[in-house]
Structure 1
């Protein structure tokens, strides 16, 4: 669902778009990574939380 949402808003974007996500995982999730890459290729700014657990940053930060 996350990847579908990113792709949907990217596809419909007619002006500057910023996607801010509070998600994280220990390693990349390919469908979400592909959606983020697509959004960035269309000029969308994508921001994601870096985490606050004190451990090394997770993905997608």
Structure 2
């Protein structure tokens, strides 16, 4: 399986999910809007619907779109 450019990792104990874009830490997302903003700041104009596209985004360790503490 080819590596995807955006990885949203498992939520941390305090809440939020670390986001990595092109192997660089982009930040800690607390909602889909945060992920979209990190993607925009990385220079990708993809829109919010990209979050459900497995070619672009991999959700690791939990359900997609869930940012609650573990």
Q: Which has the higher strand share?
A: 2
Same fold? TM cut 0.5: no
Question: Which category describes the TM-score, using the shorter chain as reference length?
Answer: under 0.3
When Rg is computed on C-alpha atoms for both structures, the one with the higher figure is 1
Report the TM-score, using the length of structure 1 for normalisation: 0.28
Query: Could you say which structure has the higher helix fraction?
Result: 1
TM-score for the superposition, normalised by structure 2: 0.26
